[in-house]
């Protein structure tokens, strides 16, 4: 089975959304299910970005430039080896998503869509994470929700359990094969 999956064209799936929407959780399960490489964009932030967010300050476009470039580098390396990759990246603005699109042909975004209240509740319950719930207002303010013209985006309701979300994605990704 794993061999069959690797024989298909390598693709990149970016799991996007605001902080606390479930990106790391869903992406890790999805990568396991697709037998794909996995990277968590949070691990690629420059240390100053982490310090800033932990101090409750929102990142600027400028702060995100080196971070997005590092993520793109990992995507490029994986696809060059014909290895599919699932990536965690908030990709809050359309301009960030468009930059990924310019560099990567076989690309699908998964948008974890949820209300402020649902996500805030999960962030409050989460322990040992630098991103605290007081950052959620700025995350929603920055988010440019993908619209119908962004046809490479699969939107997912985050109220579903993780297992259900992964099942939904397995079937929707099969139909959006690149």
Ligand X SMILES: Nc1ncnc2c1ncn2[C@@H]1O[C@H](COP(=O)(O)OP(=O)(O)OP(=O)(O)O)[C@@H](O)[C@H]1O
Ligand Y SMILES: O=C(O)[C@H](O)[C@@H](O)[C@H](O)[C@H](O)CO
Residues near ligand X, by CB under 6 A:
17, 19-25, 42, 88, 122, 126, 129, 131, 158, 160-162, 165
Chain residue whose CB lies nearest ligand X:
22
In the bound state with ligand Y, the residue whose beta carbon lies nearer, of 41 and 146, is 41
Q: At what angle do helices 61-80 and 94-103 cross, to 10 degrees?
A: 30
In the bound state with ligand X, the residue whose beta carbon lies nearer, of 106 and 162, is 162
In the bound state with ligand X, the residue whose beta carbon lies nearer, of 154 and 178, is 154
Tokens, residue 112: 């974890």
Helix (H) or strand (E) holding 90: none
Helix (H) or strand (E) holding 99: helix 94-103
CB 37 within 8 A of CB 133: no
CB 16 within 8 A of CB 110: yes
CB 82 within 8 A of CB 54: no
CB 26 within 8 A of CB 121: no
With CB under 5 to 8 Å by kind, the binding choice for 114 among ligand X, ligand Y, none is: none
Interface contacts to ligand Y, rule CB under 6 A: 19, 41-42, 59, 64, 90, 92, 131
With CB under 5 to 8 Å by kind, the binding choice for 25 among ligand Y, ligand X, none is: ligand X
Tokens, residue 89: 């990246």
With CB under 5 to 8 Å by kind, the binding choice for 59 among ligand X, ligand Y, none is: ligand Y
Residue 138 CB, shortest distance to ligand Y, in Å, is 8
In the bound state with ligand X, the residue whose beta carbon lies nearer, of 105 and 170, is 170
With CB under 5 to 8 Å by kind, the binding choice for 97 among ligand Y, ligand X, none is: none
How many angstroms separate the CA atoms of 33 and 69, rounded?
Answer: 27
In the bound state with ligand X, the residue whose beta carbon lies nearer, of 50 and 162, is 162
């Amino acid at each position: 089975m794993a061999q069959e999956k690797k024989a298909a064209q390598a693709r990149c799936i970016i799991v996007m959304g605001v902080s606390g929407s479930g990106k790391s959780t869903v992406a890790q399960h999805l990568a396991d299910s697709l037998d794909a490489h996995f990277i968590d964009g949070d691990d690629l932030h420059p240390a100053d970005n982490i310090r800033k967010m932990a101090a409750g300050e929102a990142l600027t476009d400028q702060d995100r430039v080196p971070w997005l470039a590092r993520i793109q580098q990992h995507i490029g390396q994986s696809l060059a080896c014909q290895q599919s990759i699932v990536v965690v990246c908030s990709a809050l603005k359309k301009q960030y998503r468009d930059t990924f699109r310019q560099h990567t042909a076989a690309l699908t975004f998964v948008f974890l869509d949820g209300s402020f209240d649902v996500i805030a509740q999960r962030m409050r319950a989460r322990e040992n994470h630098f991103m605290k719930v007081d950052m959620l207002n700025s995350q929603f303010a920055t988010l440019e929700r993908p619209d119908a013209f962004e046809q490479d985006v699969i939107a997912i309701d985050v109220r579903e359990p993780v297992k259900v979300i992964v099942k939904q994605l397995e079937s929707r990704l099969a139909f959006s094969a690149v």
